[in-house]
Every structure is written in structure tokens, then in C-alpha cells.
Amino acid sequence: MTSITLNQIKYVLAVEKTGSFSAAAQECYVTQSTLSTMIKKLEDALDISLFDRKQKPVRLTEEGSKLIAQFKLVYRESQNLTELVQETKKDFFGTLSIGVIPTLAPYLLPMFLDDLVTEFPDINFAVSEITTSKIVEKLKLRELDVGILSIPIQDAKLETISLYKEEFLVYDTSKSKSTHKKYKIKDIDINRLWLLEESHCMTNQIETICNLQKSRKVNNNLTFESSSMLTLINLIHKNKGVTLLPKLTTYQNNLVNKKFLYPLAPPIPVREIGLAIHVNFYKKRMLKILQKKIMQAVKPKLDTPRNIKVVNPF
């Protein structure tokens, strides 16, 4: 024996309201025969006649009258559940912990974070600036919800969502802009190349672009290790050095002097930035919001060149 369904209840209430099977069927967007069959099926299951069809309009039986209030209550509460679901989906609440790599945080976060925090006041955003390896580790331990980093990353337990592609520009303080139209990779004076310490993907990416060997030293008697873009750029200024900068790092960045920026010749090396989550991450809707906010903030500031080469961060 099958139990009462909410659909059947809906049909019963429609007949009670309209006093007509055919009108009720219209209200429920089914045919009259469907509604007739389903109400009969319910009556048979209950072993109770709910309606007296011979009366015009159709009326409840005495037994039907005794039950109708409870039918209404069940249906109302199920509607309340549906409404509560919709409200729950509208309201974002809880905590979203975000890890951002240091070569992104200073330029990307200001682009969207204030807007995000304002629009979703009930969400507790916990943002930390950590390297890719830390992000991966914490994601896997489920101590972090989402990372914003350079992709692809290869880990079976993680999943990534692409946000945008960002070209590398040459930042060469030894030259003036009028000298070169397009800077070729081979034009880079690797003896003046400055990089962040090795835990940064961007470092790996630049080394890949320039075909550099690992464990390279800048000068014969100097080992430079810093995680700070600020330090890096100031040293470049002082020593007429050169490095590669992702395009967004140069956007509205007073630290970077535009006259030392050179686009590279195609295929233009780019880094791809995305979100990373654990495969069983369940706050999917917050993720979507984050994704949307970032892309909305970034897209107007980036062209997407045609002839590009995504540089692997490892």
C-alpha cells in the first residue's frame, strides 16, 4: 500500500476549493482524468470517500470534512519548507576560508573583496595569503575552503575552476620604452633577472619561460630570498634589474613604472588563475559567488591575447 503524497494532497485541496474536478485539474495543470484517478486512488488507499460527487458543486463528505484541516496543514507546512529552502539559498551564512598566493593577493583582493564583503554581510570571510603548497595542503586537510592560485595543479583530491588568463610583461629598468616594440624572450638579460624565492609559482613560471636552471644565484656572492613583491621591485629599481610581471600586478600600481613595461612577442606566455577546492567541498553556492565576483572585477582589465602559451606553475 502506498502512502499519501503531497501531490495527492494538492489535488484534494484544489477540489475542495473549486468544488469541481475539472476546475481543480486546471488549477493543478493536469488533466481532469489524472486528477480524478489520483483522488480515487487516494480514497481507495484511505478506504474513505472524501468527496460526494453527486452534489453540485462537489462537496466534502462528513469524513472528508473531518480530515480537510489536517490536509491543509500538511500542505501548508510543505509550502513553508519550500519557502524556507528558497530563503536559505538566498541567505549566505557561515564562514568561507580563502587562501590567496602572495603574487596575487596585493593586486587581486582589492579588486573585489570589499564589494564581496559588503554584499554578503552574513558570510565570515577568512582570507589568508599563503603559497600554493600551503594552500594545497590545507585544502586537503579541509582546513581551507578555497584557494586562489595559479593553475593547473595536479592533485586527485582537488578540483580547480578557471577564472582568467594573465599575460606576463617584461619589467626592464635598464631600457627606455622607445627602444623595443615587442620584447623577445631571448632579449632578456638573465644576468639582471630578479626573482622571488623558490616557493612561489611565479618564480617557477618565469624560470620556465626563460629556460633557466634551478638553484641559480643572482650574483656571484649574493643569495636573494624574498616573498615580497615590494622588495623585489625596489631592488630591481636600485640595480636596474629585470623581471617578468603578470599584467594585473601592473594595473593601477604606482610602484611599477609603466615606462619600463614591455609586452612579450607571441606566443605570449600567460599564467592561468583559478579557484581550487577539495573534491568534496560542499559550499558550492558560495564558491559560485566568489567566482563571479572575481571574474566581474578582473575581466574589464584584461584583454585576452590570441596567441598565448599557458605556463605551468610547476
Partner DNA sequence: TTAGCGTTATTGATGTCATCAATAGTAGTA
Partner DNA sequence: TACTACTATTGATGACATCAATAACGCTAA
Over the window 12 to 51, marking each residue x when it contacts a copy of itself by CB under 8 A and - when it does not, the resulting string is: ----------------------------------xxxx--
- Residue 165 CB, shortest distance to a copy of itself, in Å, is 29
Does 9 help bind DNA (rule: CB under 7 A)? no
Measured distance CA(84)–CA(117) in Å, rounded:
24
Q: Which member of 9, 13, 39, 229 binds DNA (CB under 7 A)?
A: 39
Angle at 265 between CA 262 and CA 266, to 5 degrees: 140
Of residues 254 through 273, those in contact with DNA by CB under 7 A are none
Does 7 help bind DNA (rule: CB under 7 A)? yes
Buried b vs exposed e over 159-184: b needs ≥16 C-beta within 10 Å?
Answer: bbeebbbbbbbbbbbebeeeeeeebe
The helix/strand/coil state of 240 is coil
In this structure, how many other beta carbons lie within 10 angstroms of the beta carbon of residue 10?
A: 19
The interface region with DNA, picked from 52-60, 114-122, 196-204, 261-269 by CB under 7 A, is 52-60
- Residue 58 CB, shortest distance to DNA, in Å, is 5
In this structure, how many other beta carbons lie within 10 angstroms of the beta carbon of residue 96?
A: 20
Q: Which member of 215, 221, 280, 307 binds a copy of itself (CB under 8 A)?
A: 280
Angle at 301 between CA 275 and CA 150, to 5 degrees: 25
Does 80 help bind a copy of itself (rule: CB under 8 A)? yes
Angle at 157 between CA 152 and CA 159, to 5 degrees: 45
The helix/strand/coil state of 243 is strand
In this structure, how many other beta carbons lie within 10 angstroms of the beta carbon of residue 77?
A: 10
CB 272 within 8 A of CB 149: no
Residue 12 or 232: which CB sits closer to DNA? 12
Q: Which member of 17, 53, 76, 258 binds DNA (CB under 7 A)?
A: 53
Q: Which member of 23, 28, 58, 74 binds a copy of itself (CB under 8 A)?
A: 74
Residues that bind DNA (CB under 7 A): 2, 5, 7-8, 20-23, 29-34, 36-41, 53-54, 56, 58, 156-157, 279-280
Residues that bind a copy of itself (CB under 8 A): 3-7, 46-49, 52-54, 61-63, 66-67, 70-71, 73-74, 77-78, 80-82, 84-85, 88-89, 93-94, 142, 280, 282-285
